[in-house]
Amino acid sequence: MVCGYGDTMVVRGLSGRVRPGQVLGVLGRNGVGKTTLVRALAGQLPLREGRIHWQGRDLARVPAHARWGLGIALAPQENVVFGDLSVEENLWLHRRTRGLEAYEAYLDAFPRLRERRAQRAGSLSGGERKLLSFVRTLGAAAALSVLDEPTEGVQPENIQRMAACVAERRRQGAGFLIVEQNLSFLEAVANEVLVLDRGECVLEGAMAELGRERLEAHLTV
């Protein structure tokens, strides 16, 4: 995969695979191309070279809004909620009905969101908005969830609950691609990891085999 902005190629020669029931973590410092990768996967940024295959289909001509219908759900790093809508409206906006049945287990895990169902989402804290985006994405029960920095600004106890939610979806056969700088979170959920630096993969392999010290070295300047 090669992609970028204008004449600047940000991601170069990157490849990876997400299997059902598996989590692929993408690790790296700020500015190394992680969010650019997510935007390409989401259909928000065209590829210059390479392909994105999903269930035997080339996604090159599939627009971003249509990928949700193919079983790909996205939790972006920025603009994670519709701020003028309530918490509840954010959860059912993309669904055919206004019920919250699909979210019950997640609202049990994050009761603060249940308590604030009627509150305007834009008035939530940054971490709470991240949780709302996370719940909306996992509640879609998609075959593949792409999460961009999902733990940013989230309290440690809620990060643990997020890891438990991801683990449960894995057991149900869902796949994840999770972009993160929180190494502890990736250690808790990921099977495989790609480490990016300057838009290229500089290290990859099984999370359990690479070792924390080796991975941490790529998170420091």
Query: Does residue 192 sit in helix, strand or coil?
Result: strand
Confidence at residue 12, expressed as pLDDT on a 0 to 100 scale: 77
Confidence at residue 221, expressed as pLDDT on a 0 to 100 scale: 56
Domain 2-216 - what CATH class?
alpha beta
Query: Does residue 5 sit in helix, strand or coil?
Result: strand
Sequence-distant (6+) residues with CB within 8 A of 63 are 43
Q: Domain segments of the chain: what residues?
A: 2-216
Model confidence pTM above 0.75: yes
Q: Which residues of the chain have pLDDT under 70?
A: 1, 221
CA distances from 112 to 65, 108, 166 (A): 29, 9, 19
